[in-house]
């Protein structure tokens, strides 16, 4: 790493920002990309977005575009009850199911204080996996948008996913919750996007942004081998301070931060240290039995991730930005 002058896109600081050269390791291309860390607000960001950035999102390899598969029968009913409990905290049977086989994304909705009737927009949702679970669990007013979808998706349960950008959305003061579930780190015009969110949200509404964060043990421990750096797809890796500054600049109040990392931060980063790409045949994501990790290793990583979340050092978090009432 070296020290160069790169202006921070969040706070405009130009002094003592530190650069890093980072490999592309999800697809295993291993080409290098320059990132820099702001010495003032702590945001880690790509220096230059590749002109061919869309080539780093092949639909057949990128998880968010996988088709949603509904589950029927008794198993399907149990999953619906689990998901309702995970999202709202109600349903006794669902509580038991969440303990046995937890849904790791839906609990973040509880901190947004939404109900089954809340009007919710999911931005950059891909095929709409999370929204589909929510619709099945009883949420009634959901919409997903993703500008990279080839066509509109209409599911049998009534869920619709439109091929739109947030800048294509019309109206104002309409949504109770606008959420970015691991899509905001892929957004370059973050100031403009939050300005649009402010217009679309109802007074007192919430913008929930779930992203990887450099305010974490994983970034401090692994540096450029941190799996969630994910060059060059992740354009911004926010710190707690940089997210707070970005929110305040657009008139939001950063009301809460909930860390929700999991074992991936450790086994994924350990693989990168060993030069094993995420889609490599020896990756734990592809073939656990061929990976360098035992079942005991993964259990240890899972327990460690829980400890990191409790100490506010996990490598991803949900940031809750409140629009003034």
Predicted pLDDT at 210: 97
Each residue's pLDDT tens digit, 203-233:
999 999 999 999 999 999 999 999 999 999 9
Distances (CA, A) of 191 to 37, 170, 209, 228, 250: 18, 18, 14, 22, 7
Tell me the two tokens of residue 76. 């399907």
pLDDT at residue 64 is higher than 60: no
Q: Taking a C-beta distance cutoff of 8 angstroms, is the pair 90, 151 a contact?
A: no
Confidence of residue 291 (pLDDT cuts 50, 70, 90): very high
Residue with tokens 């509904």: 70
Q: Tell me the β-bridge partners of 154.
A: 160
d(CA 156, CA 165): 24
Predicted pLDDT at 75: 78
Tell me the two tokens of residue 259. 């860390």
Tell me the two tokens of residue 96. 């038991």
Question: Chain-wide mean pLDDT for the chain?
Answer: 92
pLDDT at residue 21 is higher than 60: yes
Predicted pLDDT at 23: 98
pLDDT at residue 5 is higher than 90: no
Tell me the two tokens of residue 36. 């820099």
d(CA 167, CA 187): 12
Question: Full-prediction pTM beyond 0.75?
Answer: yes
Tell me the two tokens of residue 325. 């009432």
Q: Taking a C-beta distance cutoff of 8 angstroms, is the pair 240, 188 a contact?
A: no
Beta strands per DSSP E along the chain: 2-3, 18-23, 32-37, 44-46, 119-123, 141-145, 153-154, 160-162, 175-181, 201-212, 236-237, 253-259, 316-322
Closest by Cα among 317, 288, 293, 321 to 305: 317
Confidence of residue 97 (pLDDT cuts 50, 70, 90): confident
Confidence of residue 66 (pLDDT cuts 50, 70, 90): low
Which of 74-88, 139-153, 159-173, 266-280 shows the lowest per-residue confidence on average (mean pLDDT)? 74-88
Residues 264-276, mean pLDDT to the nearest whole number? 98
Each residue's pLDDT tens digit, 76-92:
778 878 877 877 887 77
pLDDT at residue 246 is higher than 70: yes
């Amino acid at each position: 790493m070296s020290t160069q002058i790169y202006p921070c896109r969040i706070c405009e600081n130009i002094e003592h920002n530190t650069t890093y050269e980072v490999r592309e390791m999800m697809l295993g291309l291993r080409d290098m990309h320059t990132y820099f860390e702001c010495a003032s607000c702590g945001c880690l960001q790509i220096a230059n977005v590749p002109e061919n950035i869309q080539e780093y999102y092949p639909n057949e390899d990128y998880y968010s575009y996988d088709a949603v598969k509904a589950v029927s029968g008794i198993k399907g009913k149990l999953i619906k009850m689990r998901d309702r409990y995970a999202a709202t905290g109600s349903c006794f049977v669902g509580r038991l199911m969440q303990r046995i086989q937890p849904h790791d994304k839906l609990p973040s909705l509880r901190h947004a204080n939404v109900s089954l009737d809340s009007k919710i927009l999911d931005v950059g949702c891909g095929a709409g996996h999370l929204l589909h679970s929510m619709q099945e669990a009883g949420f009634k007013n959901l919409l997903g948008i993703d500008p990279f979808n080839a066509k509109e998706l209409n599911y049998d349960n009534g869920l619709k996913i439109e091929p739109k950008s947030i800048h294509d959305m019309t109206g104002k003061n309409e949504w109770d919750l606008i959420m970015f579930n691991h899509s905001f780190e892929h957004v370059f015009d973050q100031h403009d996007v939050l300005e649009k969110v402010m217009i679309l949200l109802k007074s007192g509404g919430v913008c929930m942004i779930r992203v990887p964060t450099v305010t974490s043990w994983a970034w401090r421990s692994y540096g450029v081998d941190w799996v969630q750096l994910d060059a060059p797809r992740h354009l911004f890796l926010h710190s707690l301070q940089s997210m707070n500054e970005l929110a305040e600049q657009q008139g939001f109040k950063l009301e809460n931060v909930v860390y929700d990392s999991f074992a991936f931060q450790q086994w994924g980063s350990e693989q990168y240290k060993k030069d094993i790409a995420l889609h490599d045949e020896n990756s734990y994501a592809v073939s656990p039995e061929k990976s360098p990790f035992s079942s005991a290793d993964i259990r240890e990583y899972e327990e460690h991730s829980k400890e990191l979340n409790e100490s506010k050092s996990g490598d991803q978090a949900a940031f809750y930005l409140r629009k003034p009432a």
